[in-house]
Structure 1
Amino acid sequence: MDGPSPDRPRTDRPRTNSPRMDRLRAARPPYPDLFAGALFWGTQMLASAMLGLYLRNGLQSSRLAEVATLYFLGGLLSWPFALPVARFFAYDRPPEARFAAFFVTLTAATIAMTAFLFAMEYRLFYSRWHAPFGSFVWAFQFVFTSISAVYQFLVIGLRLFLPLGLVCLVVSSYHLAKRMR
């Protein structure tokens, strides 16, 4: 039978003799999707955090600009990692599996990148009381300060992704899954 099977989604890229190479080629997104998507995803995460702050305390925060920057950069910097990984797992899968791949990957990458940025900011603040760089004590302090910051972000910061971040995640995952055939 010529053409794609009704059970298997079509791909935009030509197939080779190697399924592994096909999957790797499909994982590489077009550059406009990578750059424009990163800006759009970062803006969505910024809007999500601002709505979350507004619903919780009416945007009454002395660190509003820092929070906005953190969530924007978390979304912006997570997209270039999440999109190729999700496309890799979504390649040649049914629509439900593609949606799940984008949903899980965008969730994990966005939370991980935002938590990482929060941990580095947290570490920067406490570094003035830490041992000199490169020492064993410094390494110990770096690791445990970072772990504490990630835990604090997971407990306090994840709430700012709700409710709008979940809506953005579902819509974006659906759009990406439909677009990748």
Structure 2
Amino acid sequence: MDRLRAAKPPYPDLFAGALLWGMQMLAAAMLGLYLRNGLQTSRLGEVAALYFLGGLLSWPFALPVARFLAYNRPSEARFAAFFVTLTAATILMTAFLFAMEYRIFYSRWHAPFGSVVWVVQFVFTSVSAVYQFLVIGLRLFLPLGLVCLVASSYHLAKRMR
């Protein structure tokens, strides 16, 4: 029961942390994009929104899970819990948002909603989008995203005693 109580973060940590994590992921993506092609893309605003929202929306899921896993553990285990949970949640949320954007674009050529063909098209379009994000989009988190991840995980592990 104590573990569940400890997993519930204070609301300021949840909301301010989400905003800060979203801004960090935005900065990481913009630096990654700058290093790869000097920000030369016609979709800069959409890319920025995707990575910001991926960070913003992943934080409320990652923080309680990491706090649950880190409860009453040594500092190394707390760091690992925050590191792994933030990594997984951020990648999954950003990939999900990318897949939904991908799905919206291709939906005009898909079968009517709810049909068996629509379900197959939805699943394969989403899987293709997630794969494309993992191959192309993950590298935009580097190098700054890794630095932010290590620093945030260290800070969170130190704060939770």
Q: TM-score range by the shorter chain?
A: over 0.9
Q: How many residues align?
A: 161
Aligned to 2:101: 121
CA RMSD of aligned residues (A): 0.2
Aligned to 1:51: 31
Aligned to 2:122: 142
Q: Which amino acid aligns with 2:55?
A: G
TM-score, normalised to structure 1, is 0.89
Counterpart among 63, 67, 89 of residue 43 in structure 2: 63
Q: Give the secondary-structure state (helix, strand or coil) at the position aligned to 1:159.
A: helix
Aligned to 1:83: 63
Aligned to 2:11: 31
- Post-superposition CA distance 1:17-76 (Å, at most 9, x none): xxxx00000000000000000000000000000000000000000000000000000000
Give the superposition deviation at 1:162. Answer: 0.1
Aligned to 1:94: 74
> Runs of 4+ in structure 1 displaced over 4 angstroms?
none
TM-score, normalised to structure 2, is 1.00
Q: Quote the sequence identity (%).
A: 89
**CA radius of gyration, larger in:** 1
Structure with greater helix percent: 2
> Equivalent residues in 2 for 1:151-170 (5 A)?
151-170=131-150
